[in-house]
Amino acid sequence: VAVAAAAAAGVAAWWYFSQGKPKGPQRVAILDAGAQYGKLIDRRVRELNVESEVVPLDTPPSKLKGKYGAIIISGGPGSCYAADAPAFDPAVLEMGIPVLGVCYGYQLLNHVCGGKVEKAEKREDKQETIEIEPKSALYKGLGRSQTVLLTHGDA
């Protein structure tokens, strides 16, 4: 969530289909894929003094364009391979603004763009400590060791 909040705040970072600070309004749309922690993402973005709004995952690009400078696609309980998988309009990726996927949101972006998402042997619901490369612009201002939450069945 710290990474999502930092990226949404305009930290020079690698984003999917874009690089750098958000273009347009300094507002972030959080496309809700059913994340139990969606409000936490929203709060973290707001704590960085960036206005954010949680909207349905299937919000049409026409309702997002010009209103937001970046998009975060939240996590969620689904699998991108499920018949009833929550989905977004891929035209969102053609809006010319940064899009960041968190957990299921990242898996969904990967799947929509032709990447490979696999079913995990077993579901992971735990906290884990990871080591990051703090020199990366994406992690600017974060410590090398980060505690993250894993809640997924795909990888």
pLDDT of residue 80: 83
CATH of the domain at 31: 3.40.50.880
The DSSP bridge partners found for residue 32 are: 56
Classify residue 99: in a domain, yes or no: yes
Classify residue 149: in a domain, yes or no: no
Max mean pLDDT range (18-22, 77-81, 110-114): 110-114
Classify residue 130: in a domain, yes or no: no
Classify residue 145: in a domain, yes or no: no
State the amino acid at position 108 in one-letter form: L
Classify residue 153: in a domain, yes or no: no
Rg of the chain over CA atoms, in angstroms? 15
48/138 Cα distance (integer angstroms): 15
Q: What is the mean pLDDT of residues 102-110?
A: 89
Classify residue 124: in a domain, yes or no: no
Domain housing 38: 2-119
Work out how many domains the chain is built from and give that number: 1
Single pTM value for the model: 0.76
Which has the higher per-residue pLDDT, 93 or 38? 93
Which tens digits make up the pLDDT trace of 39-92?
Answer: 889 998 888 788 999 999 999 999 999 999 999 999 888 888 888 989 999 999
Computed over every residue of the chain, the mean pLDDT equals 80
Cβ-contact 91, 63 below 8 angstroms: no
- State the DSSP H helix or E strand holding residue 54, giving kind and residue range, or none if neither: strand 51-56
